[in-house]
Amino acid sequence: MAFKTVKKGQKGDIVKALQYIVGADPDGDFGPKTEKKVKEYQAAHGLEADGKAGKLTFTEIVKNGPILKVGATGVYVYAVECLLNTLTLDGVYKEDELKHVKTYQASRSITMDGEVGPETYSALFGLTSPTIVPVPSQDEDLNPEPEPDKPIKIKQPVDYK
């Protein structure tokens, strides 16, 4: 899923999740009141207050998100419940919701610990693309010996900011 800026006129679960976090009425409809709350959030966090929730705004939301474990409560729990669509919308992260979070994490190649932290938030808000983990063939040497005089290539992580 490619990231899309969330802005005035849009509707849906991503809007509702955003509304919970910025303190707007969570009706799932991005109107003038939501735009105002997004601007306030942006200004309070040193971002350009344009009222559109783009990558920088969602990155800030992820950065400020608490690690959610069973028993957690609050607006971030509501946001996760909205985005997973399979959880009871009550703002309380319960034991029976763990399986939904773990299933989502597995589908995105995220460690299946049931905790919602930066990596899971980033995936939920569309900041990262799912990672496809290749499965080595049976003949592939998983621990090859380094070859002298051949540089070792190190893959650098992609920065989605």
87-145, pLDDT tens digit by residue? 789 999 998 888 999 999 999 999 999 999 999 999 999 998 655 444 444 444 445 55
DSSP count for the chain of H helices, then E strands? 6, 0
Tokens representing 88 are: 């009871």
Q: Is the pLDDT of residue 82 over 80?
A: yes
Give the pLDDT score at 23.
97
State the pTM of this model. 0.78
Compute the distance between CA of residue 149 and CA of residue 41 in angstroms, rounded to an integer: 53
Give the pLDDT score at 85.
85
Q: Is the pLDDT of residue 158 over 50?
A: no
